[in-house]
Structure formats: structure tokens, C-alpha cells
Amino acid sequence: MHINSLGALPSNRVDSPVTTADLRINPLVLLVDDDPTGQLMASEALEAEGFDVIEAVDGVEAVQLFAQHKPDIVVMDVVMPRMDGFAACAQIRQSAAGKHVPVLMVTGLNDIDSIKKAYEFGATDFVTKPINFFTLPYRVHYMIRAKATADELRESRAKLDKAQRIAKLGHWEWQTQDDQCLWSAECARILNVSKLGNTLHTLIECIHADDQVMVNALLERTKIDSQRFSTKFRTRTDNADRSRIIQVEAEPDSTGTMVGTLQDITERANAEEQIHNLAYFDLVTGLPNRANLNDMVDNAITKARIGNKKFALLFLDLDRFKQVNDSFGHNVGDALLRSVSTRLGEVIRETDCVGQIDDSVAAIRPPDKIARLGGDEFVVLLDSIERVEDAAYVARRICKSLAKTFQLSETDVHISTTIGISIYPADGKTPDELLKHADVAMYHAKEQGRNCYHFYSQSIHKLSLERFALERDLRESLESGGFHLEYQPKISIRTGDITGVEALVRWEHPTRGRVSPADFIPLAEETGLILPLGEWVLRTACQQMAEWIECGIQPFVMAVNCSSIQLVRTDMTNVIKSALDATGLDPTCLEIELTESLLLQNVEEGIAILQALKSLGLHVSIDDFGTGFSSLSYLKRLPVDKLKIDQSFIRDLNTDPGDAAIVTSMITLAHNLDLTVIAEGVENTEQLGFLRANRCDEIQGFLISRPQPADDLQQWIERFNSQLTDKAA
Ligand code: C2E
Ligand code: MG
Ligand code: MG
């Protein structure tokens, strides 16, 4: 037996990083043959070509030597005593070192059975006897090289598998034509299933129901265009607590097969979300932070610029927050900040649905419009406000809400807040400018004694103060009975009879004097004061009408203006019913005048409300007709009795052919729909002449009478009726 110069070689190439086998200079061949002559010739031929050789005479010895030396190749005869080549080959293959070692079997010439059997027992190749000892070393060289290549391939595949497992990455192939798929083992692990089938359906089944449609659509498109794609989906949660997030990348290869990867990116996506949250949200309150606010304001600027709108930034600073922190500790301080953020959300939500119902403030949606800048500073973004006073309105509500006691872990905490307001675009065109100016305004407010707000612009500030003074006076007058009604008659053009009167509310203020309804009705609507005011008007008018009827004044109809807010926010049917009950007025003597705006907002709801009103037996008219309707097709469906042509069309009736044409069309339209039509704001006989000629039914206006207090109107009616009687006589 020939042993190479390193002597016995306990080596295991696979298990240890550097082995004696690696240190071998020459490749080691285990030569197994019971024929000493053949053995000698083969070993000499191999050694002459630079191999080291160890020799065994039968299978048993071959297995022992293999285990001991772990040679690079085995050249083994088939027929041997004790243990033949097949059995020895099979045993070598069972050992870790022998799994992939090249085994060259020496078979008899034309011994096809042995050749077949050799393969079955794991031989790598065969050579037939008589051996060509000249070419044998080359053959052995080739086999060792092929094994080295195979080893490298196996090693790199193992590394790849390991890397993919670590990266939670699987790969797949998809023949789009016949929908056949191949998946790497990792794919099933990623998708949390034991096995994946060979069509795409198997993948779809693993996808979260909410993402299936999206992925399906993408795959269907890929079937058609075979284009690269990249997408993400969540896995189903049937067998797991939580969905995993899977990233899919795919592109077509040269044959059109889609090849791609699946990667579980849950941890990364979660980390990204966490990083995003840390970067964009305040840890204490969970509100957007300064960086986030900057983006929010940037977006608001873009939106406002495109829509030619305004928006407001409210910069809040909590008064005496430092004292809270110092006296109660930071935990209470943090709890207070969280409660403040909750209250801010509530105020804005309330403002949204109670305070004002115009679109401007209805557009505010908490809490993404509230940010915390740090410390005790918060910012509220009010986008799409119509009037700057809306911002003041919200600021006041905030001050009021935050001034209420906070109960924090059994401690009662009192604070107040001071607010600075900047308006886009008047007070700045960039987030920085707007924020800076809101901050400056906040300092002005602090100078003025905290728990208040201040606009950056003086003129806006003045305006908002006026508005609130008006609101305060309105409230006081409502309580102290500072309102009264005037009544304006309506006349039938055909008969000249009084058909009705319209009740119009009047406000005489001790210092302001008479305030026009055009100025205070919108404010009453915004502040909700229209509800008690409207109810008072309704009752007073019904009461008056009942009294007139009792005095024997010929029954006519009392028209009461009703704001859309009353219809939306109260159960008007009940309010009217109780006014009728309380005054004993016959419902047919009552008419409700509504403007078009409400009916347009939600036609179906408008129809339902009108039907409910009509079911009481009263009349309904559309006031200021022509100023708002976008579609006449709705008009047809509205259960109303009368159209009041807006006075803006009457004013220049005799000089503006356009107005004349509109009025004529309105009259025709009303008649076609079987409605009575009345013109309001009729001031001269020319207008009356035109309306008469065009068969308008009724008129109302200074030509007949200005609105008058009840007693005056009663005398007017008596005079008017007696003149009529005189004429008739
Ligand atoms: P409106 O319901 O269209 O009322 C008609 C307005 O036109 C009244 O103004 C009336 O004084 C005025 N007017 C009447 N005839 C003439 C005329 O010949 N020429 C001119 N230039 N004006 C005329 P007023 O009283 O200032 O009321 C304005 C608006 O305020 C009303 O318009 C109505 O929308 C609202 N309003 C008045 N009272 C109430 C009320 O009690 N409730 C509600 N919700 N709104 C009311
Ligand atoms: Mg009216
Ligand atoms: Mg009107």
C-alpha cells in the first residue's frame, strides 16, 4: 500500500474548514483490486501522473481506508472476495465524506449488467477491463475536476439557499402560457404553507382577501403583456396571528417565462412604519409632529392655491403648562397633553357638525388637522374656510373647551390656552411664514392677557372682534326680547285682494340701532342661534295671525321664512305642529318660505322634509327663486305650492331685456308646473304692468306696502280693504 508523504490523513473536507485533505499537495486515489498485477500497474500509472495512491484488496478494506483517508477518488474493481465493489460503493456512499466522492468502477468488457448495477449502487462512471493504464490517470483527473465543479455548485447552491432563508427570499418561475409554476422551498415557508401547487392559484390562496383583487389583476395583466412588475401583498391570517407583508418582484426571461422572487419584508415594513411614526408623529400624544405639519401645510397651500381658497393656522400655547409640570410631575404633564389633544379633536369634530354647517368648516376633519410642535404648543390647521371669522369661531371654542377642568389621575388641573391665527394667503405663502406669523400673533394674544386669540393681521382681528360682539348682542337680545316682527302684504294681481303677509324679523339694538336681517341672519345661522330665533318668529307670527283671524280680519296666509339650518338641525315638522297647536292656527293659514340652497344640497332628503311639512296641511314656497337652482328637473319633483321670483330679477325688469326674458320664463315654468308665482321687490307700476301682462299671480313690494309692525299693518289692511270695497261699490 502506498501512502503519500503526509502519512495517514484524517481528513474531512466537508465538515472542517481547513482539513489535511485540503493540505494535500497531490490528489489521493483509493485503488481497490484483488489482482496484485493490475493493482501495481494502475498505481504506477497514477503515481507517474502525480497522484498519491492508497490500495485495498477487497471491499471491506476499501471501506476502512476510505473512512480513514477520505481520498479524492475511488477506482474499484467489481469482483472481489469478502465484499464486492457494488457493496463497497454503496457503503462509501452512505458516509458523509463518500456522498459525492467520484467512484470509478472497473467492470468486465461488455458486462452490461455490471455497468447498470454499478450506477444503481452509486458509481460515478465505469471503465472496462482490460484497463488502458495510459489513459487511466487522465480519466481520473477529469473525474476529480468534474467533482470539484459539482462541489462548487453544491456549495454555492447551499450558500444561496442559506442566504435566501436568512433573507426570507424565495424564487419562482411562471410559464404564463400554460400557467405552470415552480417554487423554491423557501416560498412555501414564506407563505406559511406546507406545499405550493404548480399553478398560480396556489399563490392567490395564500393572499389576504383584501389584496387578492389587486394581485389577481396584476397577474392577469402580466399574462397578456409579460412585463416586469413589482408589488406587495399581505398573507392570509388563517394559520398565523398576523399577516406577513410579502414583496414580489418579477421579470420575463429570454423565453418569456416570468421569473421572480418572493420576500417576506414584514420586519422591514414594520420598522419603516415605526421610523415613519417616530419621524412624523409625536410620541406623547400620537398627533402629527412639526415635520408632518410642514407637509400638511404644504398640501393645504397647494390645494388652496388651486381652488383659490383660504385656510387658517391656529397656533396654540397652553398657559401655565410649566406650572402643571413643576407641581404635579411630568406624568401628569404628559396626561394633560394627551387630554388636550383629545379635546382639540372633539372641538373640531363638534365644530364640524354643530357650530357651523356651511361647507367651510364642515371640511375640517380631526385629528389629522391637529399637530403638536413640542412642549405645550399645538397647531390646528383649518383648511378651506370661507370667511376668516370661521377661524376665530373655532379658536373661541378651543379656548372655552380647554378652560374646563381636566381630571388627571385624581388631580384637578386648570389651564387656559392662547391662540395666534394666520391666514393663507394673506399672512404668508409658505408653511414657515404662516407658522411664524401665527406664532407672532400668539405672542400678541399673550400680551393681551392670555386665554384669548389674536389674528396676525390687525384688520382681520378687528373684523372677528366685531363679529363676536354682534354674536354676543344677538344672544342677549334673544334673551331680553329685543326682536319684533314686521309684516309685508302680498296682493293678487288679478283680484287686487290681499293673499297673505310675510313675517320679517327686526332687531332694534339699544346702541347699534336697527340691524338688517341680511347682517344678523347669517350669523344666527352660523352660531345656531337661528334655532331659538326661528322658533320665536314662527310662534309670534302664528300667534299674530290667529289674533287677526279672531278680530275678524279676512283669513289670508301668514308666510314665515325658514332657514335651511332649521330644517336640517331640528325636527321642523314637530316645531311647526306645536306652534300651530299652541296658537290654534289653522295650518292652511301658514306658509313656509324656503330658499333653494337646502333643497339643492340633498334632493332626496329635501323632498322628504318638504313632504313631511306638507303633510301638516300648510303651504310651502321657494323664496328667492332663480338665485340657486342648478337643475330644473329637481323642481318638478319638489312638493311645493309657490315660487317667489327673487327681487334681483324684478329690479331692472323694465330696462334689462335679459331680466324680462328670465321673469317671463319663470312665470311660464311655474304655471306649467301648476305652481302659483309671486314677484317680490315690486317697487313701481311699470314692474307691475309687466308682471300683469305676463300673468304673474301675485306681487309683494314697496309699491304695495313696506313691511310694517302688526298694529300698523292691521290698520293698513283695514284701509286697503275698505278702499277695495269702495272701488267695488
Ligand atoms: P326675503 O325673505 O326674500 O324677504 C324679502 C326682503 O326684501 C325683506 O328684506 C324685505 O324687507 C325686502 N323687500 C320687500 N319689498 C321690497 C322692495 O320693494 N324693494 C326692496 N329693495 N326690498 C324689498 P329684509 O326684511 O331685510 O330681509 C332680508 C332677508 O332676511 C329675507 O329675505 C329673509 O331671507 C331673511 N329674513 C328676514 N326675516 C327672517 C326670519 O324671520 N327668518 C329667516 N330665516 N330669515 C329671515
Ligand atoms: Mg321671504
Ligand atoms: Mg326673497
Cell 396584476 found at: 218
Question: Any idea which architecture 169-269 has in CATH?
Answer: 2-Layer Sandwich (3.30)
Angle, vertex CA 526, rays to CA 635 and CA 524, nearest 5 = 95
**How far does the centroid of ligand 2 lie from the alpha carbon of residue 251, in Å?**
70
Q: Residue 98: pLDDT above 50?
A: yes
Residue 108: band (very low, low, confident or very high) from pLDDT cuts 50, 70, 90? confident
pLDDT tens by residue, 657-667:
999 999 999 99
Residue 388: band (very low, low, confident or very high) from pLDDT cuts 50, 70, 90? confident
Can 2-157 and 288-456 be said to share one CATH topology?
no
Residue 263: band (very low, low, confident or very high) from pLDDT cuts 50, 70, 90? very high
Task: Mean pLDDT check: name the lowest of 361-365, 385-389, 681-685.
Answer: 361-365
Residue 1: band (very low, low, confident or very high) from pLDDT cuts 50, 70, 90? very low
Does domain 2-157 match CATH 3.40.50.2000? no
Quick check: 1 and 55 in contact, CB under 8 A?
yes
Task: Identify the bridge partners of residue 174 per DSSP, sorted by sequence position.
Answer: 181, 258
- Spatial CB neighbours of 636, under 8 Å, sequence gap ≥ 6: 673
For ligand 1, atom 30, name the residue with the nearest CA. Answer: 517
Kind and range of the H or E element at 569? helix 564-569
Instruction: Report domain 288-456's class.
Output: alpha beta
Mind spelling out the 3-state secondary structure of 110-167? CCHHHHHHHHHCCCCEEEECCCCCCCHHHHHHHHHHHHHHHHHHHHHHHHHHHHHHHC
Q: Is the dihedral of CA 625, 628, 633, 636 positive or negative?
A: negative
Helix count (H) and strand count (E) of the chain? Answer: 28, 27
Question: What cell does 390 get?
Answer: 370661521
For ligand 1, atom 16, name the residue with the nearest CA. Answer: 681
Question: What cell does 190 get?
Answer: 414564506
Which residues contact ligand 1 via a Cβ below 6 A? 488, 504-505, 516-518, 521, 534, 537, 561-563, 593, 623-624, 647, 680-683, 701-702, 707
- Superfamily of structural domain 488-505+529-720: EAL domain (3.20.20.450)
Counting other chains too, the contacts that 110-114 makes at CB distance below 8 Å and 24 or more residues apart are: 111/78, 114/78
Residue with the larger pLDDT of the pair 143 and 387 = 143
Cis previous bond, 10, omega within 30:
no
Which-ligand-closest: CA of 521?
A: 1
For residues 316-320, give the mean pLDDT: 91
Q: Residue 290: pLDDT above 70?
A: yes
Task: Identify the bridge partners of residue 484 per DSSP, sorted by sequence position.
Answer: 506
Angle, vertex CA 725, rays to CA 723 and CA 726, nearest 5 = 60
The model's pTM:
0.56
For ligand 1, atom 3, name the residue with the nearest CA. Answer: 624
C-alpha 138/C-alpha 415 separation (Å) is 95
Domain locations along the chain:
2-157, 169-269, 288-456, 488-505+529-720
Burial (Cβ within 10 Å: 0-12, 13-18, ≥19) of residue 562: buried
- Spatial CB neighbours of 543, under 8 Å, sequence gap ≥ 6: 583, 585
